[in-house]
Structure 1
């Protein structure tokens, strides 16, 4: 992590991603105790999902079968915001978030959250990917049970995509490895159990 500076009785880490993101992701905190907790959370930072050793691409959904574009009505990439890829590459709608300079800060009564330095984040706007370990369903269930037994929070994201005649499932766990989106969301008090 980059250097700490004290400013107006708050501490700032200029870039918790250590250059992995397109723009620096700053962290603002009030006490050294918070810093120690957050340093442990952001210890293994990634800017995209990773797989565990032994996990093959056959055990999770790795995208669509489109050859060039994600413009077919049958494409699994289509969402309420449109196709992720178009003939010119990444859909411009997903690139508009590049003017957002995120920072992580505490919001009284709500826990940690992601904010923007530059402007208000609009509803439905792409901010960042939810990154973590891609794990098999049986591993996700095992981790969920373990967390429940230890009375710990669990933020495994399970995506179920209905594509043609099948359901594709992807499990993303940011517990040990994650990014600004998955790690900050995971620290909020709105529990996902």
Structure 2
């Protein structure tokens, strides 16, 4: 349960950060990819100094960090709901892979229970990622509908103002000026 909450909170924080961050240029994107790979290589070198099961866990953590950083970079470069889902899935897959490695150290029936628990957490994280993508897509769709309705209402108001102005043009002198002032005020036009 705490994994799900942490995963969701991290995804939302990253989505908010991605929307606030400027889009990356090609050169900056390439430089960041090179940086991520260099960090991964350094982490793998550090893992060589560790022995046994800890080395496998160290390598899996390094791989997970690389995948998550790459997904975060892609989200920063192109903030779309699909890239947001890829980031959430990368985090879930990294946590799942690490949990499986940790389960290897456990013996007997507890190992299978550990693997089942890790699989259940992973499946729920995947389901939440899909649900969150659907929620984001619905929100974007709703926002687009609101914009369309506002644009349509503006077009209708403009057409009504144009019709009122044409009616005012038929009036003589002061009546025309009063009619135009009234029409501008009624339709909020300059």
TM-score (norm 1): 0.20
Structure with larger RCO (C-alpha < 8 A, sep 6+): 1
TM-score (norm 2): 0.20
